[in-house]
Amino acid sequence: MGTVISLTVPAPAGGWTAAAEAALDAATAAVERLFQALDSRFSLYRPESEASRLARRELSMRESSQEFRDRYAEANEWRLLTQGSFTPERPDGVPDLSGLVKGAAIREAGAALELLGLADWCLNAGGDVLVGGSPIPGGGAPWQAGIVDPQDRAALIAACPLGGGGASGRGASVGTGGTRTGWAALATSGSAERGDHIWTSSAGVSEFLQVSVAAADIVTADVLATAVIAGGMSMLNRATDHWDIEVLAVQNDGGIVASSGFRA
């Protein structure tokens, strides 16, 4: 997927016993296997992947795997929901599910961590973050995810509280400052990290350098961040009207557009 995946787990209250270290090793291995499997199937960077074979027309969609067709169908549902701002094809018609697969991989990895009994964790894949529980085991404190300034990678423009409300950060609440806490996921899309790689619906020029979306699930956050980059202000307004999310968008001139949760 052309990115780095990290798993952060706070030290258990009783310290790192042999059993706790074994559980962490099992969780790390499960996440690694899952990302490797999805990368080997969906990555257009790998010439031997199913996605690359489809791009070279060595394989038709009808001949592709059920998993590939399922993800393509999911991406098409998002195309309809975003009125075309999110699309599962490149302009040349080649299926490109990179806008969905990373979020789906993070989603599946989070489910795997829960099945392994890990209560408190933070999974970060190239700046897209999904959390469970709290950085303080047994506590209610949220994780703090920083949003990097696209014009100065050494600076942050905001922090977003995630989790703190149980498994996968469920149980959102409103803090004393009016900001909703307890989001499970934060996704950021833009050109600052990987260059221009998102197809826009505005003559090839996006209105935003970077868009961050906080949501209850990582796929919604990831897809809508991409859709707002592609669709501009009209898609940002549609996203905040139709989904329970918060959005922080950096305009090309450095100005910031933020929904109420980020402004509080």
**CATH number assigned to the domain comprising residue 103:** 3.10.520.10
pLDDT at 231 over 60: yes
C-alpha dist (Å) from residue 224 to 45, 119, 189, 229: 23, 27, 9, 8
Cα 211 to Cα 243: distance, rounded to the nearest angstrom: 15
- Which residue do the tokens 């950060």 mark? 169
CA 162, 3, 26: angle at the middle one, nearest 5?
Answer: 70
pLDDT at 187 over 70: yes
DSSP symbol at 194: T
pLDDT of residue 3: 79
Q: pLDDT tens for residues 6-17?
A: 999 999 888 889
Are the CB atoms for 70 and 94 separated by under 8 Å? no
pLDDT of residue 192: 53
Q: Which of 260, 244, 229, 102 is nearest to 184 (CA)?
A: 244
Q: Which of 113, 106, 141, 134 is nearest to 218 (CA)?
A: 106
SS3 53: helix
Q: Write down the mean pLDDT value for the chain.
A: 87
Find all residues with CB under 8 Å of 225, minimum gap 6, and list them.
187, 188, 189, 211, 212, 213
Expressed as residue numbers, the domain containing 25 is 5-263
pLDDT of residue 99: 84
**pLDDT tier at 25, thresholds 50, 70, 90:** very high
pLDDT of residue 201: 47
Are the CB atoms for 177 and 263 separated by under 8 Å? no
Percentage of the residues of the chain whose pLDDT score is greater than 90 = 71
Specify the amino acid at residue 115: L
DSSP symbol at 50: H
Mean per-residue pLDDT for 76-80? Answer: 97
Q: pLDDT tens for residues 35-61?
A: 999 999 999 989 999 999 999 999 999
Task: Count the neighbouring beta carbons within 10 Å of the beta carbon of residue 73.
Answer: 10
pLDDT of residue 91: 87
Structural domain count, the chain:
1
- Which residue do the tokens 């090309």 mark? 252
pLDDT of residue 176: 30
The torsion of the CA quartet 96, 3, 232, 161, rounded to 10 degrees, works out to 130
Q: pLDDT tens for residues 236-263?
A: 999 999 999 999 999 999 999 999 888 7
Phi-psi region of 247 (alpha: psi -120 to 50; beta: other; left: phi over 0): beta
Q: pLDDT tens for residues 92-121?
A: 889 999 889 999 999 999 999 999 989 999
Specify the amino acid at residue 10: P
pLDDT at 171 over 60: no
More confident residue, 206 or 166: 206
The span from the first CA to the last CA of the chain, in angstroms, equals 34
Mean per-residue pLDDT for 2-29? Answer: 89
